Structure 1
Amino acid sequence: MCGICCSVSFSIEHFSKDLKEDLLYNLKRRGPHSSKQLLRANEDYQCLFSGHVLHLRGVLTAQPLEDKRGNVFLWNGEVFSGIKVEAEENDTQIMFNYLSSCQNDSDILSLFSEVQGPWSFIYYQASNHHLWFGRDFFGRRSLLWHFSNLGKSFCLSSVGAQMSEVADQWQEVPASGIFKIDLKSTSISKSVVLKLYPWKRISKENVIKECVNNSLTQISANLPTFVSVVANEAKLYLKEPVVPLNMMLPQVSFATHCSNISSMPPTRQTLQGFLADGNMKERVRQFIDVLSIAVKRRVLCLPRDENLTPSEDVKTCDRKANVAILFSGGIDSMVIATLADHHIPLDEPIDLLNVAFMTKEKTIPASFNKKRRKQKTCEILVDSLEESSKNAAAAAADGPDKQFSVPDRITGRAGLKELQAANPFRIWNFVEINVSLEELQKLRRTQICHLVQPLETVLDDSIGCAVWFASRGNGQLVTQDEVKSYQSNAKVVLTGIGADEQLAGYSRHRVCFQTHGLEGLNKEIEMELGRISSRNLGRDDRVVGDHGKEARFPFLDENVVSFLNSLPIWEKANLTLPRGIGEKLILRLAAMELGLTTSALLPKRAMQFGSRIAKMEKNNEKASDKCERLQVISLENLSVEKEITM
């Protein structure tokens, strides 16, 4: 994880040797281990490069990198596959070595087409005055652009700054491909021309052309009039890293296809019935294998102190967690935790980050049960989970933190017990992160607001704030013997995002299926993956990165997505079945195969509702409404509050 930035000026009056203070502050928070700036200037333009490194692999490599020919490279990414990077090597240096050897545009595109893993980058080619930049296919790393002064300057950065006069001009760089700007030509024409090298879908030629034209139109719509986006003349493309979505429909009616299983009771036996089918069982095992490899790559690509010798009792071993998981106890986080447990050294703890926002209600069990009565589909919760949830809620209601006994805390504690039973030799740090209304409002103003921007809805506010507090990892460990404060220092944070989008996990997927059938559901899932870069990932990367930590997304590993894309929809989800089974069916079956029990049947509950941040401040808001709380406050007040916070 890094904070990368390039500020470009085309007129002498805008030349500067330093970034603005707020922007520099935000970048440094992302990269606490190294900070460096590099100035490149000639009579036509000036480029100020700024790199801030969170060291996670190989030798600490300060950025920006520069070679003998004056080329400059900024990299915020992880090479998990595609390009060979040895354990002791740093992928930033490896990528720059490859880039420096590229002879033409095609070579550059071939290089980035091979990389598997999240990335954003900025690359300056000195010989031809070209500036290249872009994000990976899913947009798992943030990159923003900001154009000002009628074409006299622009800025590329991992994160923006809360500056009232330009707040509306920060926008996310679309994950549509790689962009190139001819800086010398721009300085002469005073207009910015962005050449797009888009991702190429493996499909018919006319479909490719249509996708490119749509991209150009959509990107240009959000840019100032002096900025234009054009297709590159050579019609060069990046190769999409995943196979197309399988849109196949069953040969017989889906209702007939599911007639034997749609009436099954929602229990573990229902899932076991699916696993009795040899073909389905094989699909599930293949899914486990590909997801397990994705998790392995994401938990082992980081430095560990190999000199420590584990004691005979690993519970007494003074080791720190290197990996944390955003943990609700739901199916996504439980499967990730189980697979992480398979690969992380046994003497190393795993932090389970569970966030709860203060509730006004004092009787969570009653509201929990009321909701269950109103939603018959929730009847699939098995008796053991039902009982443990009631007990946990009742205990919490009598405890000092009764106002934080939210649904995700209840299921999180139940999930912890399940993990402890599966591997009692692992130290599972269940970090209870409790957030009051006062703390939420204060830190939203000083730290979170600009990270969520340029997104601005109520939903963005809720999820952005919840992920920020969770990934910060400042909470408490509650055991039978004591309650003690705890700060998670794990630099890698695993999250389950991508599972719902691919496996029909949201309630809107059921509505779509009921209205438009499997064909409509396929189109909805295709749309979900297509917009995940702009809807979720840039925001989440900025929010987690603000703590000097790196978000990693196993469900969005290229091989995982390709595997799931290759399957017909009915092997991934069956929405004729009730909540808690039908959505994310293949993941629930994988959980059963991995030995998980009660958590495999938990229905989807969105983070904003499970943590109780939704409706915390206003009850009449819709998720899609523009959020007033994310609007810019005065710079003067912001500076004062930051000084107090620091």
Structure 2
Amino acid sequence: MCGICCTVSLTVSCGDRSDCQDSNLRRRGPNSSHQLIKSDSACGYKCSFSGHVLHLRGKLTPQPLQDNNGNVFLWNGEVFGGIDVLPTDNDTQVIFCHLSSCNDERDILSLFSCVRGPWAFIFYQASSHTLWFGRDFFGRRSLLWKFSQDLEKALCLTSVTESFSESDLTRWQEVPALGIFRLDLYSCGISKSMTMTLYPWKSTSEDPLTKKLILNEGQSQILKDLPTFITVVKSEDKTLTSPTTPLNRQIPEALAESCCTAPCNIVTLEDIKVVFTDARRKNAQLLINILSEATRRRVLCLPRDKDHLVSEGERKANVAILFSGGIDSMILAALADRHVPLEESIDLLNVAFMMKAPKKHKAPTKKNSKYKKQGGSFSPVPTDNLDPPNSWSPFDVPDRITGRAGLDELKAISPTRTWNFVEVDVTLEELQEMRHQRICQLVQPLNTVLDDSIGCAVWFASRGVGTLTSNGELKPYTSASKVVLTGIGADEQLAGYSRHRVCFKTLGHEGLIDELGMELGRISSRNLGRDDRVIGDHGKEARFPFLDEDVVSFLNSLPVWEKADLTLPRGLGEKLILRLAAVELGLTASSVLPKRAMQFGSRIAKMENGSEKASDKCSRLQTGHMN
């Protein structure tokens, strides 16, 4: 994972200062920082490149890279398939070698069509005076852009920005994950204007929903809202090939009535067994195999210091998981346990925001009390809303409670593994301080209440600073893992959100399929860029097993009712295939936990203004960044 930046100036006489010197970029890549300038006085342009590297694979390779032909490459990505990368290789160097040998546009497009894994890149091709850049199909790595009519900074591309003035708030945008962009620097230098070519993702399917998924309206609007001096031309004949199979739009003629008789709020393991048909068991086992391989690639592609022992025979944790005890994080933990060397511990990062102490209840009266006979007299004992016991903690939020229960399940299925359950406790004062100092810059240009809640929760969780119970003693602990696994993508593909039930109830299977297609189509602009910036701020890399191309292709191939059966109760029907997989893996209570959004499970949504709507613009993000 890296922080990359490039500033394009349409004059060679401007100073060396650029937006590429940011401390935010250096935080993303703490192991190496370098800058490079390429200019051409005849064409009238100058490019300033900056690369900040988090070393994870092969030999440490400083960026930006430059070859003998003057080509320059910045890479923020991981190759998990499609291109051969040996365990001892550095994938940045491998991709650059391939790019340097490309003869034309089709070669470059063919190369990125093959790469499997998250990426954002910037490539300067010296022979043609062109700048190529873009994000992967799902937008799993952040890349922002800003255009200016000030020719000294006509274009800036960066993983993350340093600061925002009021004018910057509307100028910075995420580069749409619609394909790869090419900028002809020669033409730009001559005309002093900018025309970019977009080479879009193209599916082999002619299904209209698949086209909508690839070219979704939200990202397309960004291109429409660009300044008037910027022109984007979409290539029709030269395109990228979508890395996933089309979404299965099959609709059942009729489904068998549910055999589950559980009330909507009580689901047990017995209810799962009732819906466990042979076909569903087969699909669950296939999902386990494919998701396990995706997890393996993500927990083994990193350096391991065999000499670094935290105790006799036990090595430090190299892998951490954003962990609520819910089914997504439990599945990832169980699968990571298959592949992480047993002598290594695994960090389970569990975040909680301080709750207010419950109000003390008034002494009951005759009208609202029942009485218990004690020693010949009656003492009032309330029948509900009892004061909390002495063991109550302001950090015993729902995700902390389910997290502890999940830890017990993991210990049961893998008792020899050391599971570090890291309790990350956040007070209101620390939340406000760190939002002002760091988080508001990282979340931007996203700006809703939901972005604030999720961005803050993920930032504190992935920082991994908390406490750990060891031998019955609570000790300070800071996770040193450079890799953080997150379960994002499971709800979007498997109908995990409450809105999916509403959609199914009103529009049936066809409406649900459309909704799921839209979820994947907009995940780059709603979630992934933000989460990459937030987690990367700690010098750590976010990895998303549920968005592995093979996992998505497998889930896309299944009819929707095999993945989620929303005729079944909450806690069972949504993410049904994942619940069946959990049972196959030996998990118990967590397999029937209903979905609880992170902002509610961690209680951050209740901390400041509980009356806000998730889609509202967040005033704390609008003003929190200002000094």
After TM superposition, the score normalised by the length of structure 2 is 0.91
Residue 193 (structure 1) aligns with? 195
For 1:69 and 1:624, the matched residues in 2 are separated by 49
Q: Deviations over 1:597-619 (max 9, x none)?
A: 01001000000000000031112
Residue 64 (structure 1) aligns with? 64
Residue 55 (structure 2) aligns with? 55
CA contact (8 A) 2:8 2:156 kept: yes
The answer to whether 1:146 aligns with 2:137 is no
Q: 1:481 to 1:215 in 2, by over 3 A?
A: closer
Report the CA distance between 1:473 and its aligned residue: 0.3
Q: How does 1:468-479 map to 2 (within 5 A)?
A: 468-479=459-470
Q: Deviations over 1:300-321 (max 9, x none)?
A: 000012457x9xxx97434210
- Aligned-partner SS, 1:631: helix
The answer to whether 1:84 aligns with 2:76 is no
Report the CA distance between 1:222 and its aligned residue: 2.5
Residue 73 (structure 1) aligns with? 73
The answer to whether 1:4 aligns with 2:4 is yes
Residue 532 (structure 1) aligns with? 523
Residue 518 (structure 1) aligns with? 509
Amino acid at match of 2:129: H
Residue 628 (structure 1) aligns with? 619
The answer to whether 1:359 aligns with 2:355 is yes
Report the CA distance between 1:273 and its aligned residue: 2.3
The answer to whether 1:336 aligns with 2:332 is yes
For 2:359 and 2:252, the matched residues in 1 are separated by 47
Report the CA distance between 1:281 and its aligned residue: 1.1
Q: Deviations over 1:577-599 (max 9, x none)?
A: 11111100000000000000010
Residue 575 (structure 1) aligns with? 566
Residue 273 (structure 1) aligns with? 274
CA contact (8 A) 2:203 2:211 kept: no
Q: 1:321 to 1:217 in 2, by over 3 A?
A: closer
CA contact (8 A) 2:209 2:517 kept: no
For 1:557 and 1:307, the matched residues in 2 are separated by 32
Report the CA distance between 1:363 and its aligned residue: 8.1
CA contact (8 A) 1:151 1:192 kept: no
Q: How many residues align?
A: 595
The answer to whether 1:219 aligns with 2:217 is no
Residue 369 (structure 2) aligns with? none
Q: How does 1:597-616 map to 2 (within 5 A)?
A: 597-616=588-607
The answer to whether 1:136 aligns with 2:127 is no
Q: Deviations over 1:316-373 (max 9, x none)?
A: 4342100000000000000000000010000000000000001113489xxxxxxxxx
Which of the residues 318, 324, 327 maps onto 2:320?
324
Between 239-248 and 471-480, the greater mean CA deviation after superposition? 471-480
- Aligned-partner SS, 2:131: strand
CA contact (8 A) 1:362 1:397 kept: no
For 2:388 and 2:185, the matched residues in 1 are separated by 61
Amino acid at match of 1:224: P
- Aligned-partner SS, 2:605: coil
Report the CA distance between 1:548 and its aligned residue: 0.2
Residue 161 (structure 2) aligns with? 160
Report the CA distance between 1:212 and its aligned residue: 6.1
Q: 1:397 to 1:624 in 2, by over 3 A?
A: farther
Report the CA distance between 1:154 and its aligned residue: 1.0
CA contact (8 A) 1:6 1:122 kept: yes
For 1:206 and 1:591, the matched residues in 2 are separated by 34
Q: How does 1:169-180 map to 2 (within 5 A)?
A: 169-180=171-182
CA contact (8 A) 1:467 1:543 kept: yes
For 2:502 and 2:219, the matched residues in 1 are separated by 32
Amino acid at match of 2:15: S
Which of the residues 407, 410, 413 maps onto 1:419?
410
The answer to whether 1:398 aligns with 2:398 is no
Amino acid at match of 1:268: L
Q: 1:150 to 1:260 in 2, by over 3 A?
A: same
Residue 385 (structure 1) aligns with? none
- Aligned-partner SS, 1:8: strand
Report the CA distance between 1:24 and its aligned residue: 1.5
For 1:176 and 1:408, the matched residues in 2 are separated by 35
For 2:502 and 2:209, the matched residues in 1 are separated by 28
Report the CA distance between 1:529 and its aligned residue: 0.3
Between 221-230 and 81-90, the greater mean CA deviation after superposition? 221-230
Report the CA distance between 1:186 and its aligned residue: 1.0
For 2:146 and 2:537, the matched residues in 1 are separated by 20
For 1:89 and 1:268, the matched residues in 2 are separated by 45
- Aligned-partner SS, 2:596: coil
- Aligned-partner SS, 1:229: strand
CA contact (8 A) 1:495 1:551 kept: yes
For 2:171 and 2:204, the matched residues in 1 are separated by 34
Q: Which structure has the highest helix share of the two?
A: 1
CA contact (8 A) 1:359 1:404 kept: yes
Between 511-520 and 353-362, the greater mean CA deviation after superposition? 353-362
The answer to whether 1:457 aligns with 2:460 is no
Q: How does 1:430-449 map to 2 (within 5 A)?
A: 430-449=421-440
CA contact (8 A) 1:296 1:343 kept: yes
Q: 1:633 to 1:570 in 2, by over 3 A?
A: closer
For 1:570 and 1:173, the matched residues in 2 are separated by 34
Residue 501 (structure 1) aligns with? 492
Amino acid at match of 2:322: L
Q: How does 1:550-589 map to 2 (within 5 A)?
A: 550-589=541-580
The answer to whether 1:345 aligns with 2:341 is yes
For 2:319 and 2:561, the matched residues in 1 are separated by 34
Amino acid at match of 1:520: G
Gaps of 5+ in 1: 365-393, 638-646
Residue 99 (structure 2) aligns with? 99
Residue 285 (structure 1) aligns with? 285
Report the CA distance between 1:626 and its aligned residue: 0.2
CA contact (8 A) 1:219 1:229 kept: no
CA contact (8 A) 1:575 1:582 kept: yes
CA contact (8 A) 2:436 2:625 kept: no
Q: 1:488 to 1:307 in 2, by over 3 A?
A: closer
- Aligned-partner SS, 2:352: strand
Q: 1:5 to 1:36 in 2, by over 3 A?
A: same
Residue 591 (structure 1) aligns with? 582
